[in-house]
Structures are given as structure tokens and as C-alpha cells.
Chains A and B, each alone.
Chain A
Amino acid sequence: MKDFNYEVIVVGSGAGGAMAAYTLAKAGHKVLMLEAGRDYDPKTETPMFKTNAEAPLMGAGNVDKDFGFYDATVDGGWTVPNEPYTTGDSSDFMWWRARMLGGRTNHWGRYSLRFSEHDFKGKTRDGLGADWPFEYEELAPWYDKTEMLVGICGTNTGLDDMPDSAEGVLQPPPKPRVPELLVAAAAKKLGIATAPMHRAVLTRPKDDRQACFYATPCGHGCSIGAAFQTTTSLLPMAKATGNLKIITDAMVRSIDVDETGKVNALTYVDKKSGSDIQLSAKVIILAASACESARLLLNSKSKHHPNGLANSSGHVGKNLMDSTGTGVGAHIPALEGRPIYNEDGHTANHLFVPWWGHKQQAKGELDFPRGYHFEIGSGFRAPGSGVSGNLQGYGKEIKEQAKKNYGAGVYLALRGEMLPNEHCYMEIDDKVTDKWGIPVAKFHWQWAEHELKQVEHGLKTARKILETMGATFDKPLPSAEKAILKGGQIIHEVGSTRMGESAKDSVTNQYGQTWDCNNVFVMDAGVFASNPHKNCTLTIMTLAMRNASWLATQLKNGEL
């Protein structure tokens, strides 16, 4: 890279890294991006219109392709070959990683809900967790800009858990489908509102990207660019400025300092040759994912930074949060044999159930402090390796049973906010290294009463909604301890390098600039001070845009 006079190195090409690189490149700053995985081009690699019959095992998932054969994730999933992680005693934690250009944005669910005023000041309201170092109003214009750039479909609902976007920002949402409308009717009867989901899926063309044509699950990736991923949007757009260069297969080993302890370089493993390469660095942005960035900081120990870089607070790796997850599904007899139509839509929720309980929580009527939402699983789906329902017999009768059941199942998936607790954190396992000799992450996890109470409430509510739709249950609900999914399993891990007001109890300031090293920034979900239930990616991108804009000003003013 001798011929490319970069000012900033960005580690990671996913939501945070790509937005940071795009913002800086647009502002005229030369950016070098390092991605640990391989190059990836959705235009040529996405399995559009493929059927499960064409895939091995009818498309079913396994340890090679955890979310099914066609899931866009390359060289990753719950396991990455030769790159283990470990867990502490009685800690269950699952860590999803991708090793590809664009990272996890190639397969994510594209749910893009803004955090609300409640979410940024949780501690002020209930005394728990940490406040963010700014109010919702500070981020609102950046949400607008990000939503415009990314392309979000949805509507302004006026609900207190869904702040409105500025006029003209959102693209129109797709029409809701029959099971979603039935959920809406049942929820309404219980006093619970439903709303169009906000998704990073174009329903109108934008830039070089086409509008959704309502076929092929977004999780496969999207060759036409309708479903947002950085590889069809921010990265090519940033490259087009001439200010971004990307090196793939570059696994960063350490951030390096000079004799005074100031960061001046980083070292990465060129995975193709296996050799280490050191790059001088004026400014480094970490956006390798919350836990990879924390791992990198913790592994970058030196005389001046004995506990790892930017870790004078001791908070790197701490405050780790995921979303809570559970769900209840049921067969809805009233939907049996309903008229069939093309129910693919944009292949995820058109409607969902936003959190409705802020007022109840303010009045102290609920025994858990933070909210959740339900995502609705339903529809006449493409046939795959599973056939639902309790089928009996053989011959014509089982086909008839299967057809009757087709499209009659509804699943309500809970996604909720957890609070940070002292038992949920990551550190470096000094006994285990990956293939490149880099010490691996070790996770510790324990759900607290807050999450279990919330899940218990969610299970009961989901069941009530399904019963209102005519479902019957012959078994009691499982306990929250049994029903709650594992830490990490919702793939919303955040908080490991949290931002705050003070260098004592946070790792970065409100701009993602580490308190200890003014030329090291974190622009992934590690900086989240809390983990609202609304899916982290939109806020990762919004923060990255805002904070990279601030960084651009700093660079222009010669502050760094």
C-alpha cells in the first residue's frame, strides 16, 4: 500500500466498518480497510431463485452451514475452522462470526428499528445498567441520514417505542399478509398494537440498487442490492470515490504502539501466505464486531498498556449483552386450508408486535425492567427439509393433512432487552490460540432475574395471542430458564467496549474514541451502553456515520 497514502485504517467491512469507511471516503479521506475473511461478490455468488431441491439435504442446516445451505455466511457461523473460542464454567455462549467481505451484513435479518428516547436513558428511568452519553434527539438526524442512505421500508406509527423518521425518509412497506393480519386482530383485542416492520429492504430503487422483487430469502444475500448489505452498497460506493482500498484475508493480530505508548501501527496476518505484515497507522477504527474488537484490544498489551489497549478502565470485554430470545408456536385451526397465494413478500416480517409496556413499566406494574417485541413467523413457505404438523397414516391422507397444515402455523419470536451484569463478559483465554497463534476469546454468561421474568411474561403473552387466534395448548409453558435461548444466540452481542461519560467506567467517549488512545476508535456494537430489544445494526450504522463524521472534522482540523 505504498502508493496509497491512507489516513485511516478500518478493521472490518461489516455494518460499522463499511459505514465509517464510506463516510470518511466521501469526506475526502483516504481509508484502508482490512477484512479477515475472503472477498465476496453478491452479484455473482448469491443463489437467487434456487430451490431447496437443488441443495444437498433439501437445504437443511448443519455444522457447515448452520442456517441452511443457502445462508450467505461464508467460512463462518457458530464455528470458524481453526479459530475456536472457549467458555467459562457453566457458561453457555454462542458466537456467530462471518469471514467474508461485508461480514454479517450479507445475511442479517435487515430489521431496522430505531432506539427510542427510553432506550438511551434506561438507567435514569430505572437505575439499572448504563445511560448512553447523549439523548435520542442527538441521534435522530443521523438516523434519518442513515435510513436514507441504507434504504428502509416501513411507516411512522407514532407508537412510543418507534420514533418517527423525518418526512420522506422511509420507503413504503409491503402489504401485510394473512397470518400477520390475524395476529394483528388478536393482539388488538388484547390491547396490543402491531406495526409494519422497518426493514433495510428497498421497495423503491436507490442508487445502483433495484427494488425488491419479492423472491429469494434475504438471508441468502441479494444480488440485486434490494436487501441491504455493505457489499452491494457502501463498499462499492466508497471505492468509487477512489478513497477506499480493501485488503481481504487480513486477520489483525495486534495494534502496536511506539516507545511512548502511542498507537502508530497495526500488524495483520496475511492469511494466504501466513506471514505477518505491519502497517503504519495514523488513526485506527475498530469495527471487527463487538467481541473481535474487544479481543484485539485485550491482545494488544504493551508496557504502557499492560491490561490491553484502551483498557485503563478494565471495562474492555465487560458489559457484554445479547438480546433475549425465545418463542411460542402454534397450529391455528382457523387458518387450515386457507386460500393459497404468493406469500413470500420481502421474506421476513411485514408486521410485528412492538413493545407496548413502557407506561406499565413506568407505573411499576411489571416485574421486569426492560421491553421486548415479537417477530411473527408464518406463511406459505417454500418447501424444505421439514414438514410441520402431526401427520398420521400414509397415502393420500397424509398429503391431505400436510396440505391442510400448510400455512396454518404461526410462531411468535420474542426479542428482548437484557441488562449488563457482572457474570456476562469476555476475556482472553491465555491457554488457547487460533491457527494464527492469536489468543482466543473466552466467554462467561449467566442470565439474570430481569431477563427470566421478561421471558416468562413474553411466553405468557405470546400464548395468549395465539389462543386468541384459536390455538389450543395441551402442554404447560416451559419455564423461562428452559425457554430462554443461549447467550449470543440472537447474534446481537454488544457492549464489550462501551461508551460513556467517564474514562472510569467506559472505554470510549460518545464518538467511539477510546479514552486512552485518541487515535483509536471503536465503531461496532461494542460501544453500545445498553442493548435495547430493537436489533443493533441500524444503530451501529447510525453511530458509525455520526462518529466518522466527527472524526473527519477532527482530521480536517488537525486534531489527531
Chain B
Amino acid sequence: MAIEDNKDNESSHHDGYQYQSTITRRESLKWLGILSAGALLPSIVGCEAGENTTKVANAVGDAIKGHWPDLTLPPITVKGYGKDPSMIIPPTSPWPKTLTAEQLTLVAVLADILVPRDGNVPSATEVNVPDVIDEWVSAPYERQQNDRLTILSALVWINDEARLRFNKTFTILSPAQQLKIIDDIAYQKDDLAPEFTKIARAFSRLRKLVLAAFFCSPEGTKDLGYLGNVPIAGDYPGPTDEAMAHLKQVITKLGLS
């Protein structure tokens, strides 16, 4: 029962980094704890704390290898922004954000693993990606509620895996330990071990959301290279000479000239 017991202590594991939302920490705290009731892990009940992964896996076999939190999440029942929101001043807080401080911190750590600072280009958390993810998974719409289950399950899995392997929650692992887990789940290759297929799919969804949120930010948009959304006086100039030269090469290479 050690793994479940540890859950109650999670909020005291604050000796490490904690993501500070710039917008919604107050709201997040209000919703703290909503997840734990549903986050049971029946397949690993009985495991001893302190055992490393190999031992646990050998002792319990496939059940532990394929651990997956079958979360039962209460549906988000708040209203959406409706069919006539102001588009000139979009709602900045259209619904309460629901990630706990711990979940938000875990999202932040993962987001910065996915999009770390790169020279002058900021990291995901530097452009508030975790807040965008929080808004996304807290939204009352079908697609987002599906993602909510995917993302929250991934967060639980990643912490469970961290405890199984290193007996600590993910956010307080060393960067090297964190990457040991991430390396196992970040590649959806053909020979992926079966115990990682579900989490790899869920992690892939998180990866796309984090990347989308990053590229949406002004700094991320610049990093991507998007040059539009500026008014042009006169006729649309069309492709640059460089772009046309490249196209010419492509057309020749494909035998279309």
C-alpha cells in the first residue's frame, strides 16, 4: 500500500521546484485534491515501497509492467463561453482551472523537458504553457474532456513509474532519472515494449499540446518563423525570390518542369 500512502504525502514533497502559475494559482488551489479519490491503482496494491522497478516487475509480472491508472474523473460541468463571446476582448478566464499545484508542477517539468530554453528562445514554462494546458484540460468541451483523461492519466502514470523506479515523485527526481523514464515513453517506435504503448500515446498527446501552446506564444511564433498577420499595403507580394528558387529546384527534382 506504500504507493497509495505516498499519494497523501505528495503535497509535502515541496522541497523541489514548484511551478507558479502567473494567472490562476488561487483557482488551482481551490480545486486541489479533486483527483486523488479517483486515482486508485488496483494493479499495484501490495507492492513494497523501496523495491526497484526490476524487482517489482519480476515479482508481479505483467500486471505491474502494464500499470495504468484507470481514473474515474468527475465530469466538468461548468458552462463554456457560449455562442456569442466577445471576440475583441476574449475571455481570459472562461472556466475555473482544475489542475492541482502538484499536477501543474508536473506539467511544467514535462513541458520544459519537451521545450527547454534554447539560447535566446524561452522554454515552455517561460511562456506560460502549463497555464494553457490547465485551461485546456479544464474546459467543459468533449475534445478537451477526452484530453483531460489522457493527460491526467499520463501524470499519474509518470509519478507511479517514478516511485516504482526511484521511490520518489517525478518532479523531485534528478534530471538524469527523469530522462530515463522519458526516454522510454517519448518514442512510438515499432519495437516499443508493450507496457509503454499506452503512456507513449498519452505522452504524444501532451507533447503536441505543449508544442502548440509554445508556438502560439509570441516568442514561440517567432521561433517557428510565421511571418503573417501583418497588413500589406498594395498587392500581395507572393513568394520571395528565395522561395521561388527553392520551388524551382523542387519542381526539377520531381520531374515536373
Residues of A within 8 A of B (CB): 38, 44-47, 49-58, 60, 62-65, 69-70, 74-77, 80-81, 172, 174-178, 181-182, 185-186, 188-189, 203, 212-216, 220, 334-335, 338-346, 380-387, 390-396, 398-399, 402-403, 406, 468-470
Residues of B within 8 A of A (CB): 80-85, 87-88, 90-91, 94, 113-116, 118, 132, 135-136, 139, 141-144, 182, 186-189, 204, 207-208, 211-213, 215-218, 220-221, 223-233, 235-240, 242-244, 246-247, 250-251, 253-257
Asked if B141 and A62 make an inter-chain contact with CB atoms under 8 angstroms apart, the answer reads yes
Q: How far is the CA of A343 from the CA of B236 in the complex (A)?
A: 9
Given A175-B238, A334-B253, verify A382-B186 contact (CB < 8 Å). no
Given A341-B240, A391-B208, verify A188-B256 contact (CB < 8 Å). yes
From A77, A176, A344, A406, B228 is in contact (CB under 8 Å) with: A344
In the complex, which residue of chain B has the Cβ closest to the Cβ of A391? Answer: B207
From B188, B224, B256, A403 is in contact (CB under 8 Å) with: B224
Q: How far is the CA of A385 from the CA of B136 in the complex (A)?
A: 10
B229, chain A: closest CB distance, angstroms? 5
From B84, B144, B221, A383 is in contact (CB under 8 Å) with: B221
From A54, A57, A77, A212, B136 is in contact (CB under 8 Å) with: A57
Set of chain A residues within 8 Å of B87, measured between Cβ atoms: 45-47, 50, 55, 69-70, 220
In the complex, which residue of chain B has the Cβ closest to the Cβ of A347? Answer: B228
Asked if A214 and B232 make an inter-chain contact with CB atoms under 8 angstroms apart, the answer reads yes
Set of chain A residues within 8 Å of B215, measured between Cβ atoms: 383, 387, 402
A460, chain B: closest CB distance, angstroms? 19
Set of chain A residues within 8 Å of B211, measured between Cβ atoms: 387, 391, 398-399, 402
From A213, A220, A383, A391, B231 is in contact (CB under 8 Å) with: A213
Set of chain B residues within 8 Å of A213, measured between Cβ atoms: 231-233
20 A–B contacts from the bound complex (CB under 8 Å):
A45-B88, A57-B141, A58-B212, A62-B142, A64-B141, A172-B235, A175-B238, A182-B251, A182-B256, A185-B251, A186-B254, A215-B230, A338-B250, A341-B227, A343-B227, A383-B220, A386-B208, A387-B208, A393-B187, A399-B118
Q: Which of B81, B218, B238 has the most CB of A within 10 A?
A: B238
Asked if A177 and B238 make an inter-chain contact with CB atoms under 8 angstroms apart, the answer reads yes
Asked if B254 and A382 make an inter-chain contact with CB atoms under 8 angstroms apart, the answer reads no
B133, chain A: closest CB distance, angstroms? 10
Set of chain B residues within 8 Å of A189, measured between Cβ atoms: 255-256
> What are the 3 closest A-B residue pairs judged by CB atoms, nearest first?
A175-B238, A344-B228, A47-B87
From A56, A65, A176, A396, B83 is in contact (CB under 8 Å) with: A65
Set of chain A residues within 8 Å of B182, measured between Cβ atoms: 394
A116, chain B: closest CB distance, angstroms? 28
From A46, A345, A398, A399, B236 is in contact (CB under 8 Å) with: A345
Set of chain B residues within 8 Å of A63, measured between Cβ atoms: 80, 141-142
